[in-house]
């Protein structure tokens, strides 16, 4: 959600506004394999709908403004908030997909000392924190 690689948190996850990097330069994770599709916009629409709709209804019931007042207030606000939240939503969905595919052990977070001492193709937490 912070725009960092979910695996190592060392580098940027996005190459553009919503285009993820093809491969993390720090840990080598292939981000072309992850496709969040339409889920991030659904999250943003759901979240903004719960914030904006009550505001619109409250304004209408209390002040009965003309339609242009609603358009001037709510359209720019929705556009701004959607632009603010779409990238964190996409990063969160990509991180969730990665976490579901690899599990918490891939981040180096483990409570089993034997598991932590066994060699793994995944980078250790000390390798990942050294970036």
**CA pair distance 117, 1, nearest whole angstrom:** 30
**First-residue to last-residue Cα distance in the chain:** 19
State the minimum distance, in angstroms, from the CB of residue 45 to Zn ion: 29
Residue 32 CA to its chain's centroid (Å): 16
Query: 20 vs 40, which CB is nearer to Zn ion?
Result: 20
Query: 21 vs 81, which CB is nearer to Zn ion?
Result: 21
DSSP codes of every residue in 54-83 = HHHHHHHHHH---HHHHHHHHHHHHHHHHH
State the minimum distance, in angstroms, from the CB of residue 50 to Zn ion: 33
Query: 24 vs 94, which CB is nearer to Zn ion?
Result: 24
* CB distance 92 to 39 below 8 Å: no
State the minimum distance, in angstroms, from the CB of residue 69 to Zn ion: 47
Query: 27 vs 95, which CB is nearer to Zn ion?
Result: 27
Residues that bind Zn ion (CB under 5 A): 5, 7-8, 24, 26-27, 29
Strand partners, 20: 14
State the minimum distance, in angstroms, from the CB of residue 8 to Zn ion: 3
């Amino acid at each position: 959600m912070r725009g960092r690689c979910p695996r190592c948190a060392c580098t940027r996850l996005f190459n553009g506004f919503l285009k993820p990097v093809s491969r993390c330069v720090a840990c080598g994770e292939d981000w072309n394999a992850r496709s969040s599709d339409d889920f991030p916009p659904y999250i943003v629409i759901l979240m903004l709908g719960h914030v904006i709709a009550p505001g619109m209804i409250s304004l209408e019931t209390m002040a009965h403004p003309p339609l242009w007042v609603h358009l001037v207030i709510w359209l720019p606000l929705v556009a701004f908030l959607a632009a603010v939240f779409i990238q964190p939503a996409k990063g969160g969905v990509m991180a969730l997909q990665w976490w579901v595919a690899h599990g918490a052990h891939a981040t180096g977070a483990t409570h089993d000392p034997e598991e932590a001492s066994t060699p793994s193709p995944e980078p250790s937490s000390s390798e990942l924190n050294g970036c």
